[in-house]
Amino acid sequence: MFHDHYNAARTKAVTFTKDWMGILKLTGPERHTWLQGMVTNEVENLKPGEACYAAHLNAQGKVVAQMTVFAAKDEIWLLVEQTAVQKLAAVFDRLIIMEDVQVRNVSSEYSVLGLVGPQTRALVQTLEYPAVSVDLGYDLIVPKDALARVSENLTAAGALPADPGIWNILRAESGIPVYGVDIDETTTMPELGQRGISYDKGCYIGQEVVARIKYIGHVNRRFVGFVCDEGAIPEVRSTVQVQGKDVGYITTAVFSPGLGRPIALGFVNRVAGEPGTSVLLAGNTAIVAARVAALPIIPTGSGD
């Protein structure tokens, strides 16, 4: 069954109830301009139906929360991991001074239903609820009392309800970090790459740190993938070693059906971050040979 779910995600369409995701809703006439000064990406000119990836940083340039920003006609929806959504709501509430903006945590009212697979585009065009384009297919924002009905309709249309563990494998293959698992408030956005960062927009909290890293410095570590040799799945928090020296650590490790071997995500120092670098992933009970891989390790087609 597990392999059937994985194969369906790669060739057809699957659904996941993403209980690990929360939702903030922004209303008020100044919501776009206010949010523009709060996050790393360009959001001020998002038109209804458009979405982008962004993050809110603290003054030291560290990630407070990552999010998908989705503009609707009368509100902006922020899809945020549950581990960060309440924290972000509290931070945003403090940062509204005179602006006509309201931020509300609506995680108890709405669910996030994920759709992954090459057949998803045709499915979302028939739906009555917002479908947000994300890294892995689409996320649907659905009232909790309608979740069962929408799930049944998707199943009837050909989408297979899948084990959430499949999503974790797909996101690892795609190199997507999860807040509270791979990243936290010790992470800077440039360590994750350039996605979600606009260097041309106006000021936002943490911008000086991000700009300084790009223009006059460098990151000391990078978020990368690892493809393991045949063998055991490495332990999370295994140390990454090169020629006997510790150069990083593992944050996520899974078995990839697409490659037929274990893969992992984690951080290494910039010297060891070159794809193809041979490493050892040293845990408490096993040492696994691997090589550094560029992200995504395996791209996921979503029908986009």
- DSSP result, 163-229: -HHHHHHHHHHTT---BTTTB-TT-BGGGG-STT--SSS---TTHHHHHHHHHH---SEEEEEEEEP
- DSSP letter at 145 equals G
Q: Which uninterrupted H or E stretch holds 113?
A: strand 110-116
Distance, CA of 12 to CA of 126 (rounded, Å): 17
> Can you give the pLDDT at residue 126?
81
User: Does the pLDDT of residue 2 top 90, yes or no?
Assistant: no
302/81: higher pLDDT:
81
- As given in the structure block, the two tokens for residue 256 are 């990839």
Here the CATH number for the domain that contains residue 160 is 3.30.1360.120
User: Does the pLDDT of residue 301 top 60, yes or no?
Assistant: no
Q: Do 154 and 19 share a structural domain?
A: yes
Helix ranges restricted to H, the chain: 2-11, 31-36, 82-95, 120-124, 147-156, 164-173, 207-216
299/22: higher pLDDT:
22
Distance, CA of 34 to CA of 129 (rounded, Å): 26
- DSSP letter at 60 equals T
- DSSP letter at 28 equals S
Backbone torsions φ then ψ of 193, nearest 5 degrees: 115, -160
Here the CATH number for the domain that contains residue 263 is 2.40.30.110
Query: Taking residues 238-262, what's their average pLDDT?
Result: 97
The verdict on residue 205 lying in a domain is no
The count of other CB atoms within 10 Å of the CB of residue 245 is 11
Q: Do 167 and 46 share a structural domain?
A: yes
Strand duo 14-17 + 160-161: pairing = parallel
- pLDDT band of residue 199 (cuts 50, 70, 90) is very high
SS3 114: strand
Which of 103, 138, 173 is the C-terminal boundary of a domain? 173
Q: Do 275 and 160 share a structural domain?
A: no
The verdict on residue 27 lying in a domain is yes
Domain that holds residue 37: 2-173
Distance, CA of 207 to CA of 209 (rounded, Å): 5
The verdict on residue 38 lying in a domain is yes
pLDDT in tens, 96-115: 999 999 999 999 999 999 99
Q: Do 283 and 143 share a structural domain?
A: no
Q: Do 52 and 123 share a structural domain?
A: yes
SS3 27: strand
Q: Do 149 and 21 share a structural domain?
A: yes
The verdict on residue 29 lying in a domain is yes
User: Does the pLDDT of residue 291 top 70, yes or no?
Assistant: yes
Burial class of residue 108, CB neighbours in 10 A (0-12, 13-18, 19+): exposed
User: Does the pLDDT of residue 243 top 70, yes or no?
Assistant: yes
Q: What's the whole-model pTM score?
A: 0.95
pLDDT in tens, 112-158: 999 999 999 888 888 888 899 999 999 999 999 999 999 999 999 99
Q: Which uninterrupted H or E stretch holds 22?
A: strand 21-27
Distance, CA of 16 to CA of 113 (rounded, Å): 6
> How many structural domains comprise the chain?
2
Structural contact between residues 226 and 266, judged by C-beta atoms closer than 8 angstroms: yes
- pLDDT band of residue 299 (cuts 50, 70, 90) is confident
Between the CA of residue 116 and those of 171, 176, 178, what are the distances in Å? 11, 14, 17
**Chain mean pLDDT for the chain:** 94
Structural contact between residues 214 and 200, judged by C-beta atoms closer than 8 angstroms: no
The verdict on residue 216 lying in a domain is no
Q: Do 17 and 138 share a structural domain?
A: yes
- Tell me the sheet residues that pair with 246: 241
Distance, CA of 263 to CA of 290 (rounded, Å): 8
The count of other CB atoms within 10 Å of the CB of residue 7 is 16
Q: Do 120 and 20 share a structural domain?
A: yes
